[in-house]
Amino acid sequence: MRKKIVAGNWKMNLDYNEGLALFSEVVNMVKDEITGSQITVVCSPYIHLHSLAQLAKGYDKVAIGAQNAHQNESGAYTGEISAKMVRSTGAEYVILGHSERRQYFGEDNQLLAAKTDTALKNGLKPIFCIGETLEEREADQHFDVIKTQLKEGLGHLSTEQFEQVVIAYEPVWAIGTGKTASAEQAQEIHAFIRNEIAEAYNQEVADNTTILYGGSCNPKNAPELFAQADIDGGLIGGASLKSRDFTDIVKVFN
């Protein structure tokens, strides 16, 4: 059975001490709330990773992730962080292809395919983000955009590699805008993604893939979103910065 995941994406928020304080609060609040095959992942800035991984020790349903990692193994790339470095902190996940990275840092599907390979090679599980912009949705191109992002970003992976990947559907028009895709709109895309995976691999692989919804997910809308057949949890931005809101979202699966 596929895992349910509620993952927080702190983005570029919280200094070192603020991050540790929030994470300690979150762990205390969620540790008794994570049931069944659910896990909670906190994706922090790099500077927090090692300390958070230490704090998460002993809680096998709480994991840590980074928000990016470089496509090369090592070398003269001043200011960059490699997948191996991320893994060495104790982090297990890495967000790749977030729309903010695609939009502000020019990351395209080819680059993300390389980042995915390097992350997997170094033992990190990618949380691979896909999703259409408002213009693309209004032009009725959303299915094509998602199909291409999947194919070009992940289509080259073997079954064993793909089984390590979590997908996050993030409609760009619903990120940080307060707008959410309706549960029906989100389910429609999630079902489409699962079907694409079944065609590329097989039905069993598709059924085992965790597909998260991201885009203004909050304690109010999470119950309806997470009740959809193909929505296996969320990638949470703003609401992951408030321990109460994040915990309430984790509890939706109880």
Structure tokens at 117: 């390979």
221 binds ligand 13P (CB under 6 A): no
- The answer to whether the CB of 125 falls within 8 A of the CB of 164 is yes
Of the residues 70, 170, 190, 196, only one is catalytic, namely: 170
For the CB of residue 58, give the shortest distance to ligand 13P in the complex, in Å. Answer: 27
Task: Say whether 163 is catalytic.
Answer: no
Read off the tokens for 84: 């191996």
Contact 217, 180 (CB under 8 A): yes
Would you say 23 or 128 has its CB closer to ligand 13P?
128
* Dihedral Cα 126, 151, 197, 147, nearest 10 deg: 110
The reply to whether 235 sits near ligand 13P by the rule CB under 6 A is yes
Binding-residue pattern over the window 161 to 200 for ligand 13P, x denoting contact by CB under 6 A: ---------x----xx------------------------
236 near ligand 13P, rule: CB under 6 A: yes
Q: Provide the minimum distance between the beta carbon of 174 and ligand 13P in the complex, in angstroms, as a whole number.
A: 6
- Considering only residues 86 to 115 of the shown chain, the ones binding ligand 13P according to CB under 6 A are 98
Selected binder of ligand 13P within 4, 5, 6, 9 (CB under 6 A):
9
CA distance 114 to 192: 24
Q: Min. distance of Cβ 62 from ligand 13P in angstroms?
A: 18
Q: Show the 3-state SS of 125-185.
A: EEEEEECCCHHHHHCCCHHHHHHHHHHHHHCCCCHHHHCCCEEEECCHHHCCCCCCCCHHH
98 catalytic, yes or no? yes
Read off φ and ψ for residue 123, nearest 5 degrees.
80, 15
* From 50-58, 149-157, 189-197, 213-221, span contacting ligand 13P (CB under 6 A): 213-221
The neighbour count for residue 209, using CB atoms within 10 Å, is 21
Binding site for ligand 13P (CB under 6 A): 9, 98, 170, 175-176, 214-217, 235-239
